[in-house]
Structure 1
Amino acid sequence: MAASGIPLDAGTLMSTVLEGILYGFSILLFIGTIWSLTYKQRIQDINRPIATVVVLLWMLSTAHIIVNIIRVEDAFVKYRHTYPGGPSAFLADVAQQTYVLKHALYVLQTLLADGVVIYRCYVVWQSIWIIILPSMLWCSVAVTGIIGLYCAAQSGSNSGDIYAQVLAKWVTAFFSMTIATNLLSSGLLIYRIWLIERNASTARVTNVTMMPLLHVLMDTAVLYSVVLFAALICFVCSSNGEVVMLDMIMPIVSIAFYIVLIRIAISRKTRSSSSINIPRRTTSEGGQDSSQQHSMQPLQVHIPQFNVDTPGFGKGNEGQVSPYPVESV
């Protein structure tokens, strides 16, 4: 099936430029994320799993843009006059090593990012049952991605473009499973945090709230889903706009992950400041309370405490039940 819309060579140049711009922005956020994870932290206190994921996302996005630049250089400089059909034919050849490699990097980043979201769901829900369906979808993403890469690698230079029937069905399935995994996992995560925030709002003794983090999670999930939907629609319509959207997804995934971690770091700092600034009772107030302790007892409620310092977000335990003194009646 012939591709339509923007010419493939122009689309590839556009995607490389846009990816470079977004990659530069992701580098700034990467530096900010590393700073938020290590600032005033001892080496043994640094959350190593999250730091590892941050570095892996940076490595994958960096490798992807390098491969993309090499691919552009091969198409427009190295094989411009020697490859049959010119740059457009070279870029349409799915059997090229650079094509397979760049999409392998994309599949790896997708699996890593979706896996982190699923793990966060487990952390906040504290139930293995809640992540069974997301995990099954994650496995389907891995299977469709691997099969799609295999089909591309095994196809010959004259077997057709990416929209060939055999390869197209696996690519469509990969995009569909990725969208489903992201929406389901992010939805479960956001819903759980909203429940905890709603239960805690009636008994909160400080002005610390999880709503800013909730908004960031919603925004990043919507952004990622919209880009995936756009890429899927372009692919189904056999439009070369899919090339542009797909290359933009790589830095967008990293940006979304970094923004969430930076927002968590800000929430942790705000929470620490609020706990330090809680006013203490004076000696006279303490004496009055002591004189009334036999007639009146302090009312306490127990609510689930969402701790942003979790293995999936930061450091600590999730789903703890902590007593919050509300008011002495």
Structure 2
Amino acid sequence: MQIAVLNPDKAGLLSTVLETLLYGFSLLLFMATLYILLRGRPWSQVNRPMLAVACLLFILSTIHLGVDIDRLNKGLIVYRDIYPGGPIAWFGNPSQPSFVFKNAVYSFQTALGDGVVIYRCYKVWQSVWAIVFPCILWLGVAVTAAGSVYSCTLPSTDPTSIYAQQLGRWIKAFYSTTLACNLTATALLAIRLWMINNSVRKTRMGRGLTIPVLLIVMDAGMLYSMTLIAALVCFALESNGQYVVLDMVTPTISIAFYMVIVRVGVAQHDSSNGNTANTTLPRVPFSRSEHHGSSNQLKPMHVQIQVEEYTQDSGETGRRTPEKGENSRGHAV
């Protein structure tokens, strides 16, 4: 039984307003991300995959917001008096081409965001076996996303409801698989960081070498996961509040991606300026090391997260010398 707290037209208006606010925040984080990825580096050393993902997420968020603004114009102004059933029927019809298109944009952005979390998990574990289960879930995300978009275009016994039986099952499956994928990949990433922290703490002085990075990753993962849980609960209860949460998920995906790069970049900057004492901060390289020289030289290993330790000894702050396996800049090779 549908809980009619919000009519679809009111939910569409509220969701667009909230999405615009989140989009503005994501825009600021996007500019900060570009600054961190590009500052002081030649193009050959820029992490171009992460730069491409950041730009693509921003483009998708912009397209999604543009479609929602256009839907407001058509539903509340253009077709207000001529569409059968009025604005309520317009915003509640999942077969509207504009709704199908924005749902496709959201589905693609979700798959991209989940893929980035799995990629980070692989970079930390350095093992394909560690991401087998998350990859299976990611395939499930892709299949259910395609199924939900396709179901929107099919005839339905109730064309004014998104909770129709076939479409509703696809959407529930999509929410469930993307939530499971995100939680699993984030948990594996957190476990590995915790293992690294415990291993290094036994042989180094200082506090929690990777704890700051762990907290940043957990914050981003929980932000996205809580939004998905809210959307899944609203949809299961057949509440039109799911329209509001659904439009908020799109900029949230971008925010979760940007905040990891920005927060780690700020911590790295503070660490390099010597603003911390008797503490440890994460050091995450955002540039790609180029391999030059003969074939017998060691090739750089693209490690997503490295650690740089600062300790305080006799009132002076000193930097540890590079260990074997690191170069003078603190990058693993």
TM-score range, shorter chain: 0.7 to 0.9
Taking structure 1 as the reference length, the TM-score comes to: 0.83
Is the contact made by 1:309 and 1:316 (CA closer than 8 Å) also made in structure 2?
Answer: no
1:303 aligns with none
Q: Counterparts of 1:262 and 1:122 in 2: how far apart (Å)?
A: 21
Q: CA deviation at 1:270?
A: 4.0
Q: Secondary structure at the match of 2:153?
A: helix
What is the 5 A alignment of 1:288-303? none
Flag the 1:37–1:208 CA change in 2: closer, same or farther, 3 A: farther
Q: Is 1:98 the counterpart of 2:112 in the alignment?
A: no
Q: CA deviation at 1:264?
A: 2.2
2:184 aligns with 184
What is the 5 A alignment of 1:234-249? 234-249=234-249
Counting aligned pairs with the same residue, the percent is 41
Q: CA deviation at 1:207?
A: 6.9
Flag the 1:19–1:32 CA change in 2: closer, same or farther, 3 A: same
Is the contact made by 1:54 and 1:258 (CA closer than 8 Å) also made in structure 2?
Answer: yes
What is the 5 A alignment of 1:219-258? 219-258=219-258
Q: Counterparts of 1:58 and 1:208 in 2: how far apart (Å)?
A: 33
What is the one-letter code of the residue matched to 1:242? Q
Flag the 1:105–1:210 CA change in 2: closer, same or farther, 3 A: same
Q: CA deviation at 1:195?
A: 1.2
What is the 5 A alignment of 1:1-329? 2=2, 4-155=4-155, 159-204=159-204, 209-273=209-273, 308-309=284-285, 317-318=302-303, 323=323
Which has the larger displacement, 238-247 or 211-220? 211-220
Q: Counterparts of 2:33 and 2:172 in 1: how far apart (Å)?
A: 33
Q: Secondary structure at the match of 1:317?
A: coil
Long gaps (5+) in structure 2 = 289-299, 308-321, 325-333
Q: Counterparts of 2:274 and 2:23 in 1: how far apart (Å)?
A: 35
Show CA shifts across 1:268-291 (max 9, x none). Answer: 33444459x99xxxxxxxxxxxxx
Show CA shifts across 1:133-175 (max 9, x none). Answer: 1000000011011011111022369634110001100000000
Q: Counterparts of 1:320 and 1:229 in 2: how far apart (Å)?
A: 32
Question: RMSD across aligned C-alpha pairs, in angstroms?
Answer: 2.6
Give 1 or 2: higher helix fraction.
1
Q: CA deviation at 1:213?
A: 1.9
Is the contact made by 2:45 and 2:287 (CA closer than 8 Å) also made in structure 1?
Answer: no
How many aligned positions are there?
294
Flag the 1:320–1:221 CA change in 2: closer, same or farther, 3 A: closer
Q: CA deviation at 1:309?
A: 2.1
What is the one-letter code of the residue matched to 1:308? V
Taking structure 2 as the reference length, the TM-score comes to: 0.82
What is the one-letter code of the residue matched to 1:62? T
Which has the larger displacement, 2-11 or 113-122? 2-11
The 4+ residue runs of structure 1 with deviation greater than 6 A are 319-322
Q: Secondary structure at the match of 1:88?
A: helix
Q: Secondary structure at the match of 2:302?
A: coil
Q: Secondary structure at the match of 1:82?
A: coil
Which has the larger displacement, 199-208 or 22-31? 199-208
Flag the 1:161–1:320 CA change in 2: closer, same or farther, 3 A: closer
Q: CA deviation at 1:69?
A: 0.4
Q: Secondary structure at the match of 2:61?
A: helix
Long gaps (5+) in structure 1 = 279-305, 325-329
